[in-house]
Amino acid sequence: MQAKAIAKFVRVSPRKAGQVAGLVRGKKVNEALAILKYTPQKPASILAKVIESAIANAENNHEMDKEKLYVAEIYANQGPTIKRFRPRAMGRATSIRKRTSHIGVVLKEK
């Protein structure tokens, strides 16, 4: 039995989110939330929200015990890139790519 949650179109780059996701992969849920609480990067709060959503799904939809849950999978895939332009010297323009992510979490019971 597994419970999952996905956050789509999150305005954080998938590379940065993936680095923070690596900190909690395979950990128990309580330990993962504690690690993310004291991680200073921006994706940490977003990942914590997704994990809490997956915990709620596990308890309400699948009647799983919160104490036995662990993070089986956590990933940050690339979403669509928002393209913008910034003016530069001598009438030129430079493109700016604002990256988005699709963040997913799968929880399982031990």
Domain ranges of the chain: 2-76+102-109
Q: What is the pLDDT of residues 7-61, one digit of tens each?
A: 999 999 999 999 999 999 999 999 999 999 999 999 999 999 999 999 999 999 9
Please state the φ and ψ torsions of residue 27, each to the nearest 5 degrees: -85, 160
Quote the pLDDT of residue 84.
97
In this predicted structure, the answer to whether residue 110 has a pLDDT above a threshold of 90 is no
* CATH number corresponding to 2-76+102-109: 3.90.470.10
- Report pLDDT digits (tens) over 59-84: 999 999 999 999 999 999 999 999 99
The rounded distance, in Å, linking the Cα atoms of 26 and 22 is: 9
Distances (CA, A) of 44 to 5, 16, 21, 93: 16, 10, 8, 33
Q: What span, in angstroms and rounded, lies between the C-alpha atoms of 107 and 29?
A: 8
Confidence class for position 92, pLDDT limits 50, 70, 90: very high
